[in-house]
């Protein structure tokens, strides 16, 4: 049996409806950029998030970058985030001109340790960027407490966390803005790169609309110097076809994840499963656990047909990009993060898995440790 990590061949096995909608748009209207479907998709995505506004942009990375620029973040500023995230988080900070400042992660979960944020704040700190890593919300109560105390805005990196929630409040509604990704491997995706910024501020929404489209007020007037970061109409059409599936996708991933939790729950000597808090809706963009003999298990599962992954084996403070950028971090600066990066493994959990494939995954992890 094969248990693939990617599900795109299944998701788009019958794309006739999407192709028909795209063909209709191209041949009859040719609205390839900022067509009416973009605004329609923005409204539906905002509703999905329980927010007032969503602004479509070219990628999740740009969603974070443009959020920072909308707040006026630039050279000489600092933005606080976690070192175990995907490079896009920190890349967006660097692209804005600011310096990324890392904070250790929580030993029990995989998110930024909010209790350590305050000591990283300096007069140059212009934004906090907590990451809802793998689809699990960060400790936003503490983050917002710090934000209010120091008057520092929050940009949520929700790129992996569509429909995740804390006490039924959906992520994207805690900070000033939040960036979401529509990358093909995200829970809700399009046929390429795409992203959205969610906000409840009309002022931020209007600034983002300018920033994503060269700063154009209209065809002839340029209000500010902006960027070329539009969500293409074709991607909005794909998004409109898939957004009705968002709850099914989320609920199926949760079901599969909890099934794996249960199947591995007695292997505490070898496996650490993060606590699943009742007030947290974890949407499992990634299903991550900590395991002993990670690399051996990874190779074993791949040999058996289970396409496991590691997200991510090298933390960003130890990557060459950080060293080459002049960030003065070294091994040992964030020991919890560094240890977790040696132990974490991601198992397939997507909505197209059959129960047999989920059981096969559990069976092979158990066989590895019980052999």
Domains with residue ranges and CATH for the chain: 8-103+111-245 (3.40.640.10), 246-370 (3.90.1150.10)
Indicate if the pLDDT at residue 23 is higher than 90. no
Give 245-284 pLDDT, tens digit per residue: 999 999 999 999 999 999 999 999 999 999 999 999 999 9
- 161 and 183 Cβ atoms separated by less than 8 Å: no
| Partner residues linked to 306 by β-bridges | 3
pLDDT in tens, 114-134: 999 999 999 999 999 999 999
SS3 335: helix
Q: Which two tokens stand for residue 53?
A: 């506004």
- Which residue spans within 206-334 are E strands per DSSP? 271-272, 280-281, 287-291
Query: What whole-number distance in Å separates Cα of residue 92 and Cα of residue 227?
Result: 14
Of 344, 109, 360, 187, the C-alpha closest to 259 is: 360
d(CA 113, CA 105): 5
Is there a contact between 180 and 154 (Cβ–Cβ < 8 Å)? Answer: no
- Residue 371 pLDDT greater than 80, yes or no: no
**pLDDT one-digit tens code per residue, 67-86:** 999 999 999 999 999 999 99
Residue position matching structure tokens 């409806």 = 17
Task: Find, among 156, 136, 163, the residue nearest to 64 by Cα.
Answer: 156
First to last CA, the chain: 20
The DSSP call for residue 274 is P
Q: Is 144 helix (H, G, I), strand (E, B) or coil?
A: helix
What values do phi and psi take at 347, rounded to 5?
-105, 145
Q: Tens digit of pLDDT for each residue in 132-180?
A: 999 999 999 999 999 999 999 999 999 999 999 999 999 999 999 999 9
Q: Do the bridges between strand 177-181 and strand 155-157 make them parallel or antiparallel, or are there none, so unpaired?
A: parallel
Decide if 49 contacts 161 (C-beta within 8 A). Answer: no
3-state secondary structure of 305: coil
pLDDT at 125: 98
User: Over 90: is that where the pLDDT of 370 sits?
Assistant: no
Segment (H or E) for 100: strand 99-102
Residues 165 and 171: beta-carbon distance below 8 Å:
yes
Query: Which are the contacts of 60, defined by CB distance < 8 A and separation ≥ 6?
Result: 88, 159, 179, 180, 181, 182, 183, 186, 193, 194, 195
Look at residue 240 and tell me whether its pLDDT is greater than 90.
yes
For 45-63, what is the mean pLDDT? 98
């Amino acid at each position: 049996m094969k248990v693939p990590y990617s599900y795109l061949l299944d998701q788009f096995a019958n794309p006739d409806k999407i192709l028909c909608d795209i063909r209709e748009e191209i041949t009859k209207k040719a609205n390839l950029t900022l067509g009416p479907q973009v605004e329609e998709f923005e409204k539906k995505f905002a509703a999905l998030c329980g927010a007032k506004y969503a602004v479509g942009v070219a990628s999740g990375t740009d969603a974070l970058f443009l959020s920072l620029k909308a707040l006026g973040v630039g050279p000489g500023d600092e933005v606080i985030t976690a070192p175990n995230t995907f490079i896009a988080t920190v890349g967006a900070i660097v692209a804005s001109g600011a310096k990324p400042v890392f904070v250790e992660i929580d030993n029990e979960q995989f998110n930024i340790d909010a209790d350590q944020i305050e000591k990283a704040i300096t007069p140059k700190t212009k934004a906090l960027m907590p990451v809802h890593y793998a689809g699990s919300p960060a400790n936003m109560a503490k983050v917002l407490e710090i934000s209010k105390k120091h008057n520092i805005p929050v940009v949520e990196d929700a790129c992996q966390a569509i429909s995740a929630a804390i006490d039924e409040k959906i992520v994207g509604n805690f900070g000033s803005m939040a960036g979401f990704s529509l990358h093909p491997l995200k829970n809700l995706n399009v046929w390429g790169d795409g992203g959205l910024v969610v906000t409840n501020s009309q002022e931020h929404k209007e600034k983002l609309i300018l920033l994503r489209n060269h700063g154009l007020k209209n065809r002839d007037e340029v209000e500010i110097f902006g960027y070329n970061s539009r969500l293409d109409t074709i991607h909005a059409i794909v998004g409109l076809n898939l957004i009705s599936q968002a709850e099914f996708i989320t609920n199926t991933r949760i079901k599969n994840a909890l099934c794996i939790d249960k199947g591995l729950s007695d292997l505490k000597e070898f496996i650490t499963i993060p606590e699943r808090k009742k007030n947290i809706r974890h949407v499992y963009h990634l299903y991550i656990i900590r395991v002993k003999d990670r690399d051996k298990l990874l190779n074993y599962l791949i040999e058996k047909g289970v396409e496991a992954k590691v997200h991510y084996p090298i933390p960003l403070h130890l990557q060459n990009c950080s060293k080459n950028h002049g960030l003065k971090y070294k091994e040992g600066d964030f020991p919890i993060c560094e240890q977790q990066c040696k132990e974490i493994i991601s198992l397939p959990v997507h909505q197209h898995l059959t129960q047999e494939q989920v059981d096969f995954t559990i069976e092979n992890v158990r066989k590895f440790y019980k052999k």
